Amino acid sequence: MTLPFIVGLGSHQGDDQAGWLVLERLQERHYPRARLIRLQHPADLLDVADIEQSLIICDACNGNGEPGSIHRFLWPSDQLCCRRASGSHDLTLCSVMELGRQLGVIPEVAELWALEGENWTAGTEPSEAVRSAANGLADRIWENHCHA
Amino acid sequence: MSSSEIIQVPILTRVEGEGGVTIRLGEGGIESVTLNIFEPPRLFEALLRGRPLEETPDITARICGICPVAYQMSSVHALEAALGVQITPTIRRLRRLLYCGEWIESHALHLHLLHAPDFFGASSGIELAQRFPAEVKRGLQLKKFGNRLLEVLGGRAIHPVNVKVGGFHRLPNRHDMAALIPHFEAGVLAAVEATRWVAAFPFPDFEYAYDFVSLSHPDEYPMNEGDIVSSTGLRIPVTEYNQHFVEEQVAHSTALHAVRRHRGTPYLLGPLARVNLNRDRLMPLARRLADEVGLSANCCNPFKSIIARGLELVHAYEESLAILRDYDASGPASIRYRARDGAGCAATEAPRGLLFHEYRVDSQGQIVSGRIVPPTSQNQKQIERDLLDYLTRRLQAAASRSEMAVDCERLVRSYDPCISCSTHFLKVRWEERS
């Protein structure tokens, strides 16, 4: 069975590195490197996604949960897209997913994992809660897809 | 007045920020049209007071996620004028390159995903992608190269962190700059195709005798330097801005409206104004393309701003490529300066038009006062005037109210307004009981 592409979205702003941390842990566990994709902008997803390949996206979020909480969504999900874009020129993950579906590059269904963060300061390290949650999530993904 | 005599567009979509339009109808036709801006005031000028002047570029950049470079450029040039700093030719060129990156990001996205859907009755860029997938992909690719340029030169694509008063924190390395060249070679061609595509759109038949205003420089297409010129004959140094332009408060908007000081008349900034006033200084390919697509010499159709935006996209790619190809990383990244009492102002060309900043600094290097006049607040009065004229014609042509509501949004989007930027100031008047 072909393993899914796993995309980690992030930036160098504290807990926003959550998606990247998931990839680092999966790499440690020898998940095939070619199927781990580290991105900074949601729009870059359109360059790397493949409609024929299953897709998992890991990103940080800022919701109501405790730092380190993990949410799972299945795309398409209304729950995920209730939030308004922060600006008309921003391409949020939701709008990129929708656009990608129209352009035929995003698979019909994708799995999205969101990790609650608390610190978004540029240049800072991720919090221990997020680091630990990212490791836990990576292990869970590995178990689901590599151990089964 | 009954509700049937008012047409409201409660929220404008595919524009930056929160705004709406109210049209009041009387027996003789349209009585008034107001662009209602209810984005909360941002109070950035007050926030700057007492802070070190070095923080100004990064603080003002936070006014906008679309045009942070414009805020950085206007602020550093104004502060350098106050401090008597002269930058090197290398820094000057790199600042133009940074600005090209911002124009590319902003124009590519607006053209393909925000404005183009209007010409095909599509409600969004996502809907447009069903019919024009190749064109939408091209738009995203064009934007992406702009992002990459800002990352290399500015440190990141949104709210770059490499700009400082006197220059840059560090110069980009030659290898990173050279790696962008193939992308920009492809980008020039893609931008040309995008402009040809939009130039063939069906444009509404509407013109207005605008007073176009932009910077103008004798040797280059305007970005960071030049006099302020208008299509009605004005030519002044930027230091005389306040003698010729004034902001006024209006009841229905949290943003100020700017007018020509002595005439009280509106004016129009942005790509159409820049192209009309500086067409002969577009880069060669962009200039030839302007002729090829038949953009008239003094185009006064606001819907055709999308063509001007396309030409500037080509220009920005061409100029970026020229700078990238002969990039020389020698020389200092920034010019040192000493704090001193002083005042300075500057205007640069944001994607949406002329952005004016002025500051007073003290001998300790702190901001005493700051003032920022963004392009959208300068365009607002003209947008209202255009809406009134255009909708009056549409009413005479028996357009329904729902059609007119759609017309409102389409016309407003053609200016690519940034409403968040425009709400920079709130005048508070205290009244005391006697």
| Residue spans per domain, chain B | 44-395
Mean pLDDT within A46-67: 88
Q: What is the pLDDT of residue A57?
A: 95
Q: How confident is the model at residue A63 (pLDDT cuts 50, 70, 90)?
A: confident
Q: Which domain holds residue A105?
A: 5-147
Q: pLDDT (tens digit, 9 = 90+) per residue, B141-150?
A: 999 999 999 9
| Sign of the C-alpha dihedral computed for residues B4, B6, B11 and B13 taken in this order | positive
CATH number of the structural domain spanning residue A137: 3.40.50.1450
Tell if the CB–CB gap between B140 and A88 is shorter than 8 Å: no
Tell if the CB–CB gap between B110 and A89 is shorter than 8 Å: yes
Q: Which residue of A47, A86, A103 is in closest CB contact with B65?
A: A86
Q: pLDDT (tens digit, 9 = 90+) per residue, B267-291?
A: 999 999 999 999 999 999 999 999 9
Q: pLDDT (tens digit, 9 = 90+) per residue, A80-104?
A: 654 544 455 567 888 888 889 888 8
Q: Which residue of A41, A99, A103 is in closest CB contact with B157?
A: A41
Q: pLDDT (tens digit, 9 = 90+) per residue, B287-304?
A: 999 999 999 999 999 999
Tell if the CB–CB gap between B126 and A102 is shorter than 8 Å: yes
Mean pLDDT within B315-333: 96
Q: Which residues in chain A are closer than 8 Å to B420, comparing Cβ atoms?
A: 87
Mean pLDDT within B7-35: 74
Mean pLDDT within B145-166: 90
Tell if the CB–CB gap between A89 and B420 is shorter than 8 Å: no
Q: Where are the alpha helices (DSSP H) in B155-304?
A: 174-199, 241-244, 271-278, 284-292
Q: Which residue of A40, A89, A103 is in closest CB contact with B136?
A: A103
Q: What is the pLDDT of residue B360?
A: 97
How many domains does the structure of chain A reveal? 1
Within a 10 A sphere around the Cβ of B338, how many other Cβ atoms?
A: 9
Tell if the CB–CB gap between A103 and B125 is shorter than 8 Å: no
Tell how strand B213-216 and strand B227-230 pair up: antiparallel
Q: What is the pLDDT of residue A108?
A: 86
Q: Answer whether A71's CB lies under 8 Å from A64's CB.
A: no
φ, ψ of residue A53 in degrees (nearest 5): -110, 140
Query: Which is nearest to B400 in space by CA: B7, B14, B35?
Result: B7
Cα-to-chain-centroid distance, residue B189: 24
φ, ψ of residue B370 in degrees (nearest 5): -145, 150
Q: Which CATH number fits domain B44-395: 2.70.98.50, 1.10.645.10, 2.60.410.10, 1.10.3720.10?
A: 1.10.645.10
- Percentage of residues in chain B with pLDDT exceeding 70? 92
Best B67, B126, B143, B161 residue to mutate vs chain A (most A CBs within 10 Å): B126
Q: pLDDT (tens digit, 9 = 90+) per residue, B114-124?
A: 899 999 999 88
Q: Where are the alpha helices (DSSP H) in B202-258?
A: 241-244
Q: pLDDT (tens digit, 9 = 90+) per residue, A100-143?
A: 988 888 898 899 999 999 998 877 899 999 999 999 999 999 99
Tell if the CB–CB gap between A103 and B133 is shorter than 8 Å: yes
In the β-sheet with B367-373, what is the strand arrangement from edge to edge? B342-350, B353-361, B367-373
